[in-house]
Amino acid sequence: MDLIQEVANIIGFRFEFHLAEDKEYGKWDEKKKKWTGLVGDLLERKAQLAVCDLTITHQRREVVDFSMPFMTLGISILYKKEEKKDINMFAFLDPFSVSVWIYTATLYLIISVVLYFISRMTPGDWE
């Protein structure tokens, strides 16, 4: 609002401020085959000028003219930063559940005992 007021003072024109009826910036409505919001008001000649923080998209740029942006902040994505976890000394065990580690250890012991007894039965291995 401050920007358009300052431009009006410098150039010397009057303006009336109106909100878009549907309170949208402007998007293409596939069902109605027309633009909504501020872009729709400009195309239907309900407004001569729209002042807002409207993102310049390819689709909007095809139907209305944009002025050069006076401030560019870019589009950002905000996300919650994960808290740093304490390093666990047994983190190498995390890929498998406790039951898998128990089964693995049990099978290791059973196979070791079986191999021990098999090797005791064949006397040629001990010479």
Q: Which two tokens stand for residue 69?
A: 């942006």
Backbone phi, psi, residue 107, to 5°: -65, -35
For the chain, the domain total comes to 2
Residue 34 is which amino acid?
K
Q: Which two tokens stand for residue 74?
A: 């870019």
Strands 28-29 and 34-35: antiparallel
Domain edge (last residue) among 43, 61, 79: 61
Q: Which two tokens stand for residue 112?
A: 């070791």
Give the residue carrying structure tokens 């693995």: 104
Domain that holds residue 17: 2-61
pLDDT in tens, 54-99: 888 888 888 998 888 777 776 667 777 778 878 888 888 889 999 9
> What is the chain's mean pLDDT, rounded?
85
Q: Is residue 85 part of a domain?
A: no
Q: Check if the beta carbon of residue 40 is closer than 8 Å to that of residue 26.
A: yes
pLDDT at position 116 over 80: yes
